Amino acid sequence: MIRLTQLAIAKRSVTVLITLGLLMAGVFSWSQLNQELLPDIQFPFVVVITPLPGASAQDVSTQVTQPIERSIGSVPRLKHVDSSSVNSLSIVVASFDYGIDVKATVSTIDANVKAIGLSSTPTVQSFDINAFPPITVALRSKDGTTPEQLNALAAASIVPSLQSLDGVSKVDLSGVTQYQLVVNLSAAKLAADKITIAQIQGVLSANNLVLPAGSVPVTNPDGTTVSIPVSAQHQLILTNPNDLASLAVGVVMPAAGSGSTTPTPVTLGDLGTIANVPVHPTGYAELNSDPQHGPAGSSIIISVSKTSDANTVNVVQEVKDRLAKIQEQNGGAFEIVTVQDESTFIIESRDSLVREGGLGALFAIITIFVFLLSLRSTLVAAVSIPVSIMTALVLMLVAGVTINIMTLGGLAIAVGRVVDDAIVVLENIYRHRGRGDPMREACISGTREVASAITSSTLTTVAVFLPLGFVGGIVSQFFLPFALTVTFALLASLLCALTVVPVMASLFIDRIKLNPDEGVEHHDSLVQKIYTPLLKAALHNRRSRWGVIGISALLVLGAGMLVPHIPTQFLNAG
């Protein structure tokens, strides 16, 4: 450790430049770290949802659920499988040991399920606590805009625009009235024109196909020719029921002896009626921004989900900006009301913890000044706070740790601890300098004498926090970012105390007026004057020493008896 100190003092300019670089890197890391409400927690559960329209619960169990259960049974570290088979739907939940790679497990199960060859497409997904939509907004028509117009605007413009944003994985609509074309065929007309329902279905399907159309030769600048495959898309575009009614589904040959040889096309409108009817709604949204005075009205609910690696605060802000832009482009045709915004709580928590951490750092600096009674010495010791915190932010960015309530709490706790090593080193350097030692020797000797003590003290504290992230289970996933954050800050403070503090002391402490001869007579400080009589009383005789031990034992015993009366829960209900 002392070689590191000697190198730092020998290359003071390099040490200062590295320190400034770490401070700037920390500011950059703060702007790049993802901001979440909670840590990225991966629950070891995988859900397979498979629809089978029209099938009974028994058929779903036999044809879907049981084959899926058998395919999942070969996945490593599987604990148990729970399944539910109801009419038209199969749900299979696989539970695994904590600590598995959830993404890899989802991919394995998805591949196994697809290999079964089910008649319907299953959905394989995991449970992510940060996968819930970070923002939900309600849109209500205004200024003469009808609900139908708002529905069309939401489906054709708003949803595609939001889905194109970086970090957005899914946009869900609720309360939208959807329409479908319903064809009512006449059995008599079908029989008269000799048209079957299968024939009609085939025509409709054929009008939504992408077929290979051969290849096109393309000549490169160098004279070579390559063939590029080309596909042709034949898609039926419907704007109203008349478009579907004019679709030809067959022909009727002219009657014998009629003198005509041209067949007559039979359209879908000739065989029945076509109507554009609303689909039976599965949900209804109603917005009332002023429940006491304003009437409620129908609205559209838009829920935006983000990708797992996206920044919640940035995604929410981009969604708000895009909605405001669309609202402006459409002349304020709808009203936007934010129903749920997760970024608000994240920003409030972040700002609150930053404010409290800043106040804690300020109080720590004031306390240092009260005891040292030297502004320069206080600044030398206090420099370890920003250096340690900024270094921790850099390491958090490298480790992929996000800014959340756990990591912010870890930084707030670290603020009061990172300055301890610097104070010990500075006080010892100050003492050596007071004896008249040269500045360089005082910095090296003062740091050497306490290097082992502060290293063991810091590593002991790390040994308390770091295991919190490796206790196993879901608690480990909650506390791992917290433990890593505190560990990064403490190790950075130790490195700062062994390098930056001696360098800063060599630059500033040497300018303080010190009396080398003052070491002959010792003057107690105010704290020493209060503490020394208490210490003498505790060590006065055998009875006093045993009395101190007894009081300590009673305090420990009393604290242990109070533990069962402390309420316990997974998360604070408040």
3-state SS, 268-303, equals HHHHEEEEEEECCCCCCCEECCCCCCCCCEECEEEE
Pick 256 or 562 by higher pLDDT: 562
Q: How confident is the model at residue 220 (pLDDT cuts 50, 70, 90)?
A: low
Q: 380: helix, coil or strand?
A: helix
Amino acid 492: pLDDT:
93
User: In this model, does residue 355 exceed pLDDT 90?
Assistant: no
Count CA atoms within 13 Å of residue 572 on its CB side: 2
Amino acid 459: pLDDT:
93
Amino acid 571: pLDDT:
65
Cβ 46 vs Cβ 66: under 8 Å? no
Cβ 315 vs Cβ 304: under 8 Å? yes
Fold matches, 2-32+374-523 and 42-128: no
Q: Which two tokens stand for residue 359?
A: 């106040």
Pick 76 or 350 by higher pLDDT: 76
Amino acid 417: pLDDT:
84
The stretch 378-397 carries a mean pLDDT of 90
The stretch 415-427 carries a mean pLDDT of 86
Alpha helices in 373-522 (DSSP H): 375-382, 384-399, 405-415, 418-434, 439-465, 473-508
Cβ 300 vs Cβ 139: under 8 Å? yes
- How many of the other CB atoms lie within 10 Å of CB of 430? 19
510-556: per-residue pLDDT in tens?
Answer: 554 545 444 445 566 677 788 888 888 888 888 999 999 999 999 99
**Lowest-confidence region among 89-98, 357-366, 467-476, 564-573:** 564-573
First-to-last C-alpha distance (Å) of the chain: 46
Q: How confident is the model at residue 2 (pLDDT cuts 50, 70, 90)?
A: confident
CATH 1.10.10.10 is held by the domain 42-128: no
Amino acid 216: pLDDT:
52
Q: 497: helix, coil or strand?
A: helix
Report percent pLDDT > 70 for the chain. Answer: 84
Q: Which CATH superfamily is domain 2-32+374-523 in?
A: Multidrug efflux transporter AcrB transmembrane domain (1.20.1640.10)
CB within 8 Å of 447: residues ≥ 6 apart: 2, 5, 425, 428, 429, 497, 498, 501, 502
Cβ 329 vs Cβ 183: under 8 Å? no
| Coarse DSSP helix, strand, coil percentages of the chain, rounded to the nearest 5 percent | 55, 20, 25
User: In this model, does residue 293 exceed pLDDT 50?
Assistant: no
User: In this model, does residue 17 exceed pLDDT 90?
Assistant: yes
Q: Which two tokens stand for residue 113?
A: 């399920």
298-307: per-residue pLDDT in tens?
Answer: 678 888 988 8
Element (H, E) at 332: none
Q: 375: helix, coil or strand?
A: helix
What's the maximum distance between 2 C-alpha atoms anywhere in the chain? 138
User: In this model, does residue 149 exceed pLDDT 70?
Assistant: yes
Q: How confident is the model at residue 141 (pLDDT cuts 50, 70, 90)?
A: confident
In the chain, count H helices and then E strands.
21, 16
The stretch 8-16 carries a mean pLDDT of 88
CATH number for the segment(s) 135-173+284-343: 3.30.70.1320
Of the candidates 26, 25, 10, the one whose C-alpha atom is nearest the C-alpha of residue 503 is: 10
Report percent pLDDT > 90 for the chain. Answer: 17
Cα–Cα dist 402/309, whole Å: 10
- How many of the other CB atoms lie within 10 Å of CB of 37? 18
- In three-state form (DSSP H/G/I as H, E/B as E, the rest C), the secondary structure along 134-188 is CEEEEEEECCCCCHHHHHHHHHHHHHHHHHCCCCEEEEEEECCCCEEEEEEECHH
| Torsion (CA) 338, 339, 340, 344 in degrees, nearest 10 | 40
pTM of the model: 0.70
Amino acid 181: pLDDT:
75
Amino acid 345: pLDDT:
84
Q: For tokens 């970012």, what's the residue?
A: 481
Q: What angle do CA 531, 537, 539 make, to 5 degrees?
A: 100
Cα–Cα dist 175/434, whole Å: 78
Domain boundaries, the chain: 2-32+374-523, 42-128, 135-173+284-343, 179-202+263-278, 526-574
222-255: per-residue pLDDT in tens?
Answer: 666 555 554 444 455 555 677 777 877 777 777 6
Amino acid 483: pLDDT:
92
Q: How confident is the model at residue 370 (pLDDT cuts 50, 70, 90)?
A: confident
The pLDDT mean for the chain works out to 81
The torsion angles phi and psi of 434, rounded to 5 degrees, stand at -65, -25
165-219: per-residue pLDDT in tens?
Answer: 988 888 888 776 667 777 887 888 878 878 887 887 777 776 664 445 445 565 6
- How many of the other CB atoms lie within 10 Å of CB of 384? 26
